[in-house]
Amino acid sequence: MIKLAIIKNTTVIACILLFLFSAQSFLAIRSTSATFDEGQNYGIGKYLLETRKWDIMGCILSPPLSYYVSSLPLFLAHENQKVWRYEQAERDLNFLASVDILRAHELLSAPENNNDRLLILSRCTILFFGLILGYYVFRFSRELHGDTGGLLSLLLFAFCPNMLAFSGIINSDLLFCALSFIACYYFWHFLKKPTLKTTFYASITSGLALTTKLNAVLLLLYFLYVYLIHCFSKRIYSTTRLFIIFALAAFILLFSYGFNLTPYLQGFQLRMLQLDAGFKSYFCGSYSISGWWYFYPFVLLVKTPLPLLILFFATLLYYLRAWRAKWFEALFLLSPIIFFILLFSTSKISAGVRYLLPVYPFMFVAIGTLANQNQKIIRLIAPLTLWYICSSLFIMPHYLSYFNELVGGPDKAYKYLVDSNLDWGQDLKGLKKYMDAHGIQKISLSYFGTDTPQRYGIEYDWLPSYYLVNPEPDKIDTTPRTRYVAISATNLQGVYLEPHNTFAWFRQFEPVAKIGYSIFIYDLSKLPPIIR
């Protein structure tokens, strides 16, 4: 009876933590405008499911699962079919990889999406996968470390700013993180007991992971790596079941494309071209298209709450001491973390923490082992988890803009990193609230994103931007014509603007407000005259 009561209490606490996670994420879902990638992803899945044609802009950027899932609520509406028609006859790689800003504006501004109703529902489909991920973090940790370890891992998941941020964004990042981790969970069971059941589950989840991101194919290489180590340690040399897992996973990938592999191969071709050409990026005052090898270690260091880093460091020390007994568990949980950091550190694409999202579930599960250590370690956990929770509550609901204390928090973050680490176009709603609260009728705006300010009733004078349409293309005046100026942090640093110092004059002054830490408001009446 006592054991049953403990199990029930553990389940209740786990459900409460998952509820808190969903409540926090939903708050961000409701309070943010469409982020940069959401504009280009929105609605694609419905078109693909209805037509089975891969001939529209943006359709090859990722495998289709995130498109399919996030578009399900759009079947409740009837969008203007003209947005899917293009005059261009040749659908070459450049066309298929392009961002259709006008399509994004048309779909997001449709009457059916009034008050972002459909956008919110679409985001909730991603949140659903976030909850599933949280469940499997708890389940895996509980199996390895017991009830207390499982709850500790789930608590770390439920209050992780990065998990909360990307569980409410229409993108493939969270789906890849969730399904690749779940696939690893079932592959762990397959290694422990290679039955027909574990083979089937590992195959299905691996296949689903392949349908989320192009680089998910590397998951199979990881499986091969741990499988070979496991076989050598157990002196078992059969690869038949591993081949079955790979074959079924490949079948699921083909099925997701309607057995048309061309768009998948086009996506890979595009990715290779991007890796060769590089990607515009900003890092601590420097600009590059070839990236920095230390970019992602730095991102992980400043975008991860410090209490989590401390707990993870303590976990590494534990695994070093207990290597003989825990070597395979440590290898299985820590290898993906090292693998992803090394993979992206050698890439020319220096983007954001979203690329490192898959490392966090493994960190959470690994840290769960600390719950079973001596009282000295357990006494360390309590204040660190309290600090961790407070960090999440402090940034709520601006989880996307979270930075830890090493760089002065989100307030100083723009000096180090921008783009999807801080400013992804998510704060137009907050800008409108600020304008209403301060009686601002019109503002000079430089916006980084694919959403449209008109949707929120923002009247603005256009300033040089990335993807923001100039309503008066014949008038290109870079000098603000209104008292108040709003500049997205990414544009303030000039990452995608030419020249990079377009708004350098503003950087020397403190803004009167920061909307969600991503949009900077300047009052020109309090500043010296602008030097053209």
Residue 4: the pLDDT is: 47
Per-residue pLDDT tens listing for the chain (532 residues): 444 455 569 999 999 999 999 999 999 999 999 999 998 899 999 999 999 999 999 899 999 999 999 999 999 888 777 888 887 667 888 888 888 888 888 899 988 899 999 999 999 999 999 999 999 999 999 999 999 999 999 999 999 999 999 999 999 999 999 999 999 999 999 999 999 999 999 999 999 999 999 999 999 999 999 999 999 888 776 788 899 999 999 999 999 999 999 999 999 999 888 888 888 999 999 999 999 999 999 999 999 999 999 999 999 999 999 998 899 999 999 999 999 999 999 888 888 999 999 999 999 999 999 998 877 788 889 999 999 999 999 999 999 999 999 999 999 999 999 999 999 999 999 999 999 999 999 999 999 999 999 999 999 999 999 988 887 777 667 788 899 999 999 999 999 999 999 999 999 999 999 999 999 999 999 998 865 4
CA-nearest of 353, 326, 335, 330 to 413 is: 353
Residue 1: the pLDDT is: 44
Instruction: Please give the Cα distance from 248 to 295 (Å, whole number).
Output: 36
Q: 138 is written with which tokens?
A: 């708890």
Q: Beta partners for 466?
A: 448
Q: What is the DSSP string of 84-129?
A: G--S-----HHHHTS--HHHHHHHHTSGGGGGGHHHHHHHHHHHHH
Q: If DSSP codes are grouped into helix, strand and coil, which group holds residue 440?
A: coil
The number of angstroms, rounded, from the C-alpha of 188 to the middle of its chain's C-alpha atoms is 25
Residue 261: the pLDDT is: 93
Q: 149 is written with which tokens?
A: 């370890």
Instruction: Please give the Cα distance from 516 to 519 (Å, whole number).
Output: 7
Q: What is the DSSP string of 289-303?
A: SS--TTHHHHHHHHH
Alpha-helical runs (H) found in 305-374: 306-321, 323-345, 359-367
- Domain spans of the chain, in order of start: 2-28+123-395, 422-526
Is-contact 29 123, C-beta < 8 A? yes
Residue 232 phi, psi dihedral angles, 5° rounding: -65, -35
Statement: the pTM of the whole predicted model exceeds 0.85: yes
Residue 85: the pLDDT is: 84
Residue 510 phi, psi dihedral angles, 5° rounding: -80, 130
Residue 510: the pLDDT is: 95
The number of angstroms, rounded, from the C-alpha of 149 to the middle of its chain's C-alpha atoms is 26
Instruction: Please give the Cα distance from 204 to 253 (Å, whole number).
Output: 10
Residue 5: the pLDDT is: 54
Q: 348 is written with which tokens?
A: 């020319």
